[in-house]
Structure 1
Amino acid sequence: MSAGFKCKQFFVGHDQCAMKVGTDGLLLGAWASLPTYVSLNGCAVTKDSAAYLDIGSGSGLISLMLAQRAPQATIRAIELDSDAARQAEHNFRQSSFASRLQLLKGDILTYQPAERYALIVSNPPFFDNALLGSNGKRNQARHTASLPLPLLLAKAAELLAPGGSLALVLPEPAAEAFSQLAGAQGWFAMASCQVFSRADKAPLRRLMQWQRVPCQPRQQQLLIHNDDGSYSEQYRHLLRDFYLKF
């Protein structure tokens, strides 16, 4: 078996991906709220029959998690890097959800599908105005030059069905700037969750979900580790359907 990450219902190979399976993707895949319904062509579509889109899918981890959580939903995953796209496609084919997963190799900014999505998820590149390293694939995966956040917001607005939402994860400093940008582009926060590695540390990440109509946002906090280094009960509960050790 190639290097990767084993979940309860699927395996994620990631040896060909610049960015490996990590906490950010696991958190987003488990935390993002699935749509109760959206309107497509005037008809209500439930979460189990809707289409979801994973932007910058990498190994395909988040798409696989969504496929497990919504047993009839169709998930499209778009990935720019050829090696990561091939690996995600392989991961999809090896899963029990293969018939509902589709890998699209290409640039989200030029993607023009006929359908609209009930949920868009993204673990986007987040380093801005930072020195680039020598690994071009890792730079593409980590730096906003490959997908500027203003363009991600504009594209998501174009691709969402009425009532749909955008969920993503960012480092805390970047999340604050993103929130201001999203508000300026006509987005409204549905939910926000600050992620702490330990109770005595500053927030590490922020999980966010946005939509295009006004709403009352849910404010949450998530602690990953207890003081003794063990996983918190909150973290275990969130990922219990995926982590083998839980």
Structure 2
Amino acid sequence: MSAGFQCKQFYIGHQHCAMKVGTDALLLGAWAALPTALQATPAMLDIGCGSGILSLMLAQRTGGQIPITAVELDTNAATQAAANVALSPWPDAIRVIKGDILTYSTAERYALIISNPPFFQHALPSQDATRQQARHTDSLPFAALLDKAASLLAPAGEFSLVLPAASQQAFTAAATARGWQCLRLCQVQTTAGKPVSRYLQSWSRSTIATFAEPASLLIQDGAGVYSAQYRDLLRDFYLKF
């Protein structure tokens, strides 16, 4: 298995992380809307940062000019994320904290909260405890994640995340029950003709938020060729693009 993943401007080591760099994180890191100049609190928060891939993608997109806090529960992953940040072009932009987001306390309020969260519910446990923690909602149930994000989000902020299609209905029900409004939703198909595999989404606590019609993103056509849409989204990160 690869020890890491090379992007155009930085390298992500992930050999000590339960979850390796994958399509979900790369899509989310490129898709999430950045804080605007009008927001008084431009800071960003990465919940469950793993190897640090999302934080580093955001740092690249903002030129390291907006501070990012990355919180990770697993000790090995937090250590690896800190090492990846230190070797990146933006070592001062990202602060990695080893800890549980549910007990994380700060007076800061974030304009963007981003997460590639655990998503398996009521599934058979993994024999690997760190993989179980990273993938199963036992360690971070949707309700707890939403409540914590609500307490840390700036008034005009957005909460962006990616979930597999099988988890989308449960998450949406939990979010709407807590007063969240969906700002953007993107249905992702891995291959043309296949069902939607995952959802990119952005949520707000604003009562004036308006829901946009779902967008669609195709990764590969039927012949296995990357779509122009996918290439455009990840052009600044993938070496092959």
Same fold (TM over 0.5): yes
Q: What RMSD, in angstroms, separates the aligned Cα atoms of the two structures?
A: 1.1
Match of 2:229 in 1: 234
- Deviant stretches of 4+, over 4 Å: none
Partner Cα distance (1:51, 1:36) in 2: 11
CA contact 1:38–1:161 (8 Å) conserved in 2: no
Q: Which amino acid aligns with 1:107?
A: D
| 1:215 partnered with 2:209 | yes
Alignment match of 1:107 (pick from 91, 100, 105): 100
Partner Cα distance (2:26, 2:3) in 1: 17
Q: CA deviation at 1:133?
A: 1.6
Q: CA deviation at 1:227?
A: 1.2
Partner Cα distance (1:179, 1:129) in 2: 17
| 1:64 partnered with 2:64 | no
TM-score, L = length of structure 2 = 0.96
| Other structure's SS at 1:224 match | strand
Q: CA deviation at 1:38?
A: 5.8
After superposition, the C-alpha distances for 1:9-29 in whole angstroms (9 at most, x for unaligned) are 100000000000000000000
After superposition, the C-alpha distances for 1:10-69 in whole angstroms (9 at most, x for unaligned) are 000000000000000000000001122565xxxx35xxxx21000000000000000011
Q: Which amino acid aligns with 2:22?
A: G
Match of 2:135 in 1: 142
Match of 1:24 in 2: 24
CA contact 1:3–1:13 (8 Å) conserved in 2: yes
Partner Cα distance (2:171, 2:215) in 1: 18
TM-score, L = length of structure 1 = 0.94
Match of 2:173 in 1: 180
Q: Which moved more, 1:21-30 or 1:211-220?
A: 211-220
Q: Which amino acid aligns with 2:94?
A: L
Q: Which amino acid aligns with 1:238?
A: L
Partner Cα distance (1:51, 1:215) in 2: 21
**Equivalences, count:** 237
Q: CA deviation at 1:176?
A: 1.7
Match of 2:82 in 1: 89
Q: CA deviation at 1:197?
A: 0.7
Percent identical pairs in the alignment equals 57
User: Gaps spanning 5+ residues in structure 1: where?
Assistant: none
Q: Which amino acid aligns with 1:236?
A: R
Partner Cα distance (1:35, 1:96) in 2: 21
